[in-house]
Amino acid sequence: MRKPDLTPLLPLGLPAGSVWRVWAWGLGLAGLPSLQFLAAYSRARGDLFEYNRLTGVRSLISGAKILPFPQLLTGVYTGFWALAAVTPLAALALYLYHYQGSHSIYTMRRLPRRRELWRRVLTVPLLASLSALAAAGLVTALFAAIYWGCTPAAAL
């Protein structure tokens, strides 16, 4: 899949490739804390069973119930919230980029379309926040499928 061209959405002279790398790293690092769900679910699912050492068989404990799904999600969204919280700093960095070297903020302010400066400063950080929200939704859907699909019906 080809990456969309971010060049029209970025300050003049800023390479889109480096922005894509930062974006990908940000989403990847934001997703790391969500992996704690797998550890919490594995622990909670393991508590549903007992192991008989004589027969070597694991069996479901009678009346055992797994923790509720929302309780297993504790801390899963921390990275995504952190990414969304950092995006205003990215907008500030993009704004300050116009002041570096020959990147004239005054030229941007004199363009016929007055909103061009703000479009180039705010669009990518807003897209990053929306992608963090979408990734959190996908992670929730994936973990819900794991929870409902792998938990024995008697333990729900």
- How many H-runs (helices) and E-runs (strands) does the chain carry? 6, 2
**Domain ranges for the chain:** 26-155
DSSP 63: T
Count how many residues are written for the chain. Answer: 156
Q: What is the pLDDT of residue 114?
A: 80
Whether the Cβ atoms of residue 48 and residue 131 lie closer than 8 Å to each other: no
Burial class (CB in 10 A: 0-12, 13-18, 19+), 83: buried
Q: What is the pLDDT of residue 13?
A: 84
DSSP 152: -
Q: DSSP labels for 65-134?
A: -PPPHHHHTTTTTHHHHHHHHHHHHHHHHHHHHTTSTT--HHHHHTSSSTTHHHHHHHHHHHHHHHHHHH
- Of the candidates 3, 31, 11, 7, the one whose C-alpha atom is nearest the C-alpha of residue 117 is 11
Taking the C-alpha atoms of residue 137 and residue 119, their distance in angstroms, rounded to an integer, is 26
Per-residue pLDDT of the chain (156 residues; tens, 9 = 90+): 677 888 888 888 888 899 999 999 999 999 999 999 999 999 999 999 998 888 888 899 999 999 999 999 999 999 999 999 999 999 999 999 988 877 677 777 778 888 888 998 999 999 999 999 999 999 999 999 999 999 999 999
Q: Which helix (H) or strand (E) holds 57?
A: strand 57-60
Q: What is the pLDDT of residue 1?
A: 67
| Confidence (pTM) | 0.85
